[in-house]
Amino acid sequence: MAPFDLLGNLGTFWTYAVYLLIGAAFGAVLESAGFAKSTKLAAQFYFKDLTVLKVMFTAIVTAMVLLYLSSGLGWMDFDDVWVNPTYWWPGIVGGLIMGVGFIIGGFCPGTSLVAAATLKVDGVFFVLGAITGILAFGETVGLFEGFWNSSFAGRLTLFDWLHTSAGIVVIAVVLMALGMFWGGEWLEERFGGIPRADAPRGRYVGAGILVVLAVAVFFIGQPTNDDRWDRIAGEMETVLADREVQIHPGELLDLIHDNAIKVVILDCRDEGDFNLFHIWDARRVDCHDAIDVSATLHNEPDNTVIVTVSNDEGRATRLWKVLVADSVRNVYILEGGINHWIAVFDPEAVPAAGGDDELRYAFSAALGSSWPAADPDPEEFELEYTEKVVIEVAQAPAGGGCG
Amino acid sequence: MSTSDPARGLRLLSRPERPFWNPYVAGVALGVVLFLAFFITGNGLGASGGINRAIVWLEDLIVPDHIDNTAYLVGIAGGETNPFDSWVVYVALGTILGGLASGWFHGRLKVETNKGPNISVHRRWLFAFIGGALMGYGARFARGCTSGQALSGGAVLSAGSWLFMFAVFGGGYALAYFVRRAWN
């Protein structure tokens, strides 16, 4: 399913050839739209020629509708698509600086490349300026690194932020764009003397198609976690049955003490059991919050290993399925759960009888992670186990847009 | 149309000059390119990141120790890291080639300076340089330029990208009145 693992399938050379081709198409379209001409771009800010607005928002809504349609129909996994992480204030400040640079210089970085390529001298000077500015940024970012990394909200889409569905936002954005085009044409007629009547009628057909597709996105919806699990269930049930992801307590302990790995232990037992005993640094999560938990995990670094834990394996496996269906990488299950953990690290403790996924050890007090077995010393235990954890780096791009 | 007009500049590899595409047609074409980029690779488009990496590569040739000691640059070219080992470099390179090809095909490959009627050529160059410097600085500040943030982030509905986009237009419109002599 798209997007594809190009590096894995094609190798470096052909992967970069694909990117070169995409870039070439990008450059050709920019040039064909007239974006190598600074006066045409700057006219946007004097309401005389709103080509920038029209091209940009037509492109955004076209790509948006196609992307969310592909995702809704299950042709493309949206979790593997790069969504620029949100840093609110640095984005605003950077955007304002760019706006000022735009009106003074007459280009943006992409269009200036095309202008320079078509021998526009102002484009060449702009590129030289951009090089200077980029160089200056690399040298000065250390002075305000704190601010530059502030107000981080991670992978945040408009519909998550507004707590609504993707379909609603897609429709709203299409309608907003059409409104802006209408207003833009009105302004062009008023300030630029471009009569609206001369514009091709075909644009109404295009607008109609966009609205129909946006409504289709809304009705098709985006795949739920269950839909996503169904798509991979066949493969994943085998992985579970072959015990490829159930890791021994000893392996978990070694991972916790491996400085190169970040371990996130998700304990999905009831609060009572969690308070009686849990592994040191474990995070308690409710199973029905699994999707929200998953959203936070997408922002963890690549060297993160996530381990789900319950008393045996029942609940931990259900949580594992939700996370894996949501494209979280490197998720494992603690083999035999807390009961197995205690049996390994507190051999003196005597288990009682108990049902499936119930805590079979009695505790005299709710000390949580203050019991010795919650934070065992790896030096004390010589444990034999099969290593199962293989760190898989997300296929989704590590650095987007301008990384 | 056929030969160069000294007042307008020197046209190379003379071909008849063609009009620009209708903006909505160009927009749909750009949208399809952007969609295909995401669909095939998972990445959108980008430009300033490619320029950035080319610069850092050059810096690394001259002052490698400096790169290794600057937090922001280490990730790009620290130690054995090759700054060209990134997709965005090839997209930027392709953008240049695609622009060149289209400019030639449409007869718009010519040495010229586009400017407003009330500004001298040299001043226009100076403005282009200053504007470019601000753009370059701002693009890195915002973690993406118009292509990588506004266009790509806008299409996938990134909340930060939409705010960024309004900030760019806000900054442009806020200053437009004061530099009107440069363009009108």
> Domains of chain A: which residue ranges?
6-225, 226-380
CB of B77 within 8 Å of any CB in chain A? Answer: no
What is the CATH superfamily name and number for domain A226-380? Rhodanese-like domain (3.40.250.10)
**Spatial distance between the Cα atoms of A109 and A401, rounded to a whole number of angstroms:** 12
- Give the model confidence (pLDDT) of A63-96 as tens digits: 999 999 999 998 998 988 999 999 999 999 999 9
> Given pLDDT bands bounded at 50, 70 and 90, which one contains residue B175?
very high
CB neighbour list of residue A65: distance below 8 Å, 6 or more residues apart: A170, A174, A210, A213, A214, A217
> Domains of chain B: which residue ranges?
11-111, 116-184
Q: Which of residues 34-63 of B touch A (CB under 8 A)?
A: 34-49, 51-52, 55-56, 59
Residue of A nearest to B46 (CA): A401
**Spatial distance between the Cα atoms of A273 and A318, rounded to a whole number of angstroms:** 18
DSSP 8-state symbol, A189? I
- Give the model confidence (pLDDT) of A185-221 as tens digits: 999 999 988 888 888 888 999 999 999 999 999 999 9
pLDDT score recorded for residue B9: 60
SS3 B10: strand
- Give the model confidence (pLDDT) of A353-368 as tens digits: 888 889 999 888 888 8
- Confidence check: pLDDT of A401 > 60: no
Residue in the block written with tokens 């700054």 = B83
Residues of B with CB below 8 A from A6's CB? 40-41
Residues of A with CB below 8 A from B32's CB? 62-63, 66
- Confidence check: pLDDT of B10 > 50: yes
Residue in A88, A109, A135 closest to B139 by CB = A109
Contact B39 A60 (CB under 8 A): no
Contact A129 B109 (CB under 8 A): no
Substitution target from A6, A21, A54, A100 for chain B, most B beta carbons within 10 A: A100
Contact B136 A134 (CB under 8 A): yes
Q: Which two structure tokens, joined as six digits, stand for B122?
A: 């040299």
Kindly report the backbone phi and psi dihedral angles of residue A132, in degrees, each rounded to the nearest multiple of 5, phi listed first: -60, -45
Contact A55 B30 (CB under 8 A): yes
**ipTM of this model?**
0.91
Q: If you average pLDDT over every residue of chain A, what do you get?
A: 90
Kindly report the backbone phi and psi dihedral angles of residue A102, in degrees, each rounded to the nearest multiple of 5, phi listed first: -60, -50
Q: Which amino acid is at A384?
A: E
- Give the model confidence (pLDDT) of B136-163 as tens digits: 999 999 998 888 889 999 999 999 999 9
- Give the model confidence (pLDDT) of A379-398 as tens digits: 888 888 888 888 876 544 44
